[in-house]
Amino acid sequence: MMAAAKGDFSKGKVSSLILRLGLPIMLAELVHVLYNIVDRMYIGHMEGTTGTQALTGLGVCFPLITLIAAFANLCNTGGATLFTIARGQGDDERAGRILGTAFTFLLLIGGAMTVLLYLTAPWTLRLLGGSKTSLPYAMDYFRIYVLGTIPVLISLGMNPFINAQGFPKVGMVTVILGAALNIALDPLFIYVLDMGVRGAALATVLSQLVSAAWVLRFLTGKKPPVRLCRLLIDGAQLVSVMKLGITGFTFKVTNSVTQAIVNVMLKAWGGPQSLYIGAMGLINSMREIMSLPINGVTTGGQNVMSFNYGAKRYRRVSEGIRFVFLGGLTINTLMWALIMLAPQLLVRIFTRDEALVALTVRCARIYFGAFPFMALQVTGQHTFVALNYPRHALFFSLLRKIVLVAPLTLLLPGLGLGVEGVFWAEFISQLCGATACFTTMYRVIWRKMRNSSEPAEV
């Protein structure tokens, strides 16, 4: 246990280490999801039709919010992984350069994105499906939300460096502090001060500021083995971080692209005033909730696999892959059963509009129809990243979203499925893309790690 607390994952039972890391990470992600979900809950329950229209407006914002998170992934996917591998190799000096470079890059890219997204918001939100009724709500929310770009990049991008050093509970507190503030401020700003969606956005921005402050306070303090000491750009480390981090970045960017295509197609086939964009927004919220458990397991597993890969403890890497796969498959199957049997339990969290509830339930059963297969996708994807296989990770990120989802979203509605073809596109991509990703990971990595002559313990 002490080894794990100091970030040494080469000792102890692999499954216990993953759970010890994964459970706090999962709880932290749960609270992070509350940032946006609480906004949607309060907004969706606004009086009359205002709540439904405002939810649709937030759905229009999703691609841009996802794009912001993509730049955090650019640093935390590549940076935290290479940081952990360096620590497994005993090279804390290089790990420190990686940490400083990732932080400096986030500051630079965050400033540029804030200006660019704020200025182009009217055009981009209209392009992403904003209608006469939903665009004002989208503008009110996003133009305030985007002012918190730098804090959200710091909290999302740097928190994994806390987890990677064996402090998952501190990482959990990072998000809980901000989320608790968000939950408290939402009703005050939305209802008491009558700010509506602008109040929800303001509460989120203030919450992100608190989370970012906590991250910086810890990483610059005395507890972490590798501290954030200075601003720097190490060219060699930045190239390595970008090379591996492009996977996480591409995953988020392709999500943003496909969400944009989905919104455009839902507007084209469902009508500009239809509820389909609102339904997709609720499905995205449900997906965030359903993905929390497996995200905790895979993130904890990724840290353990990266460290042991750096330490050349290959059989422990194999044990980590097996635990992540079996745990993820069990979790996703349970989540799938919940959606198939009682989707209303999740949908009614966000809205009281019975027409929107009925539509979301019908579409969610299609969208999540192959959800257990996503355990194969995330196991393969996280293993490629954890062991520094950037080309494989990038390929399978592009395969599912760009090669499968995007074309199918454009084609299926015109092949007799109508607007619901948009939701069938996700179903098909989960079956095909996830199977291809996992099969390749098994052949390229898992079989080799499993048959390694390295002992499980020293």
Q: What is the pLDDT of residues 329-370, one digit of tens each?
A: 999 999 899 889 988 887 887 777 788 888 889 999 999 999
Cα–Cα distance measured from residue 192 to residue 211, given in angstroms and rounded to the nearest whole number: 25
Q: Tell me the C-alpha to C-alpha distance, in Å, between residue 264 and each of 227, 229, 269, 415.
A: 45, 45, 9, 17
Token code pair at residue 405: 């989802």
Query: Do the beta carbons of residue 226 and residue 86 sit within 8 Å?
Result: no
Token code pair at residue 24: 């706090």
Residue 24 reports pLDDT greater than 60: yes
Residues of the chain with pLDDT > 70, as a percent, come to: 89
In one-letter notation, the amino acid at residue 73 is N
* pLDDT bucket at 40, cuts 50 / 70 / 90: low
Cα–Cα distance measured from residue 33 to residue 279, given in angstroms and rounded to the nearest whole number: 18
Helices (H), 89-234: 92-127, 135-145, 149-163, 168-187, 197-219
Cα–Cα distance measured from residue 397 to residue 394, given in angstroms and rounded to the nearest whole number: 5
Rounded to the nearest 10 degrees, the angle between the axes of helix 149-163 and helix 168-187 is 150
Cα–Cα distance measured from residue 329 to residue 325, given in angstroms and rounded to the nearest whole number: 6
Comparing CA positions, the residue from 215, 20, 232 lying closest to residue 105 is: 232
In one-letter notation, the amino acid at residue 163 is N
DSSP class of 454:
-
DSSP class of 370:
T
Counting DSSP H helices and E strands in the chain, the numbers are: 18, 0
Comparing CA positions, the residue from 301, 452, 447, 313 lying closest to residue 381 is: 301
Query: For the whole model, what pTM was predicted?
Result: 0.68
pLDDT in tens, 391-445: 888 888 788 888 888 899 999 998 988 888 999 999 999 899 999 999 999 998 9
Residue ranges covered by each domain of the chain: 9-450
Helices (H), 224-275: 235-270
Token code pair at residue 277: 């964009």
Following DSSP, what letter does each residue of 311-323 receive, concatenated?
Answer: TT-HHHHHHHHHH
Mean pLDDT within 179-183:
82
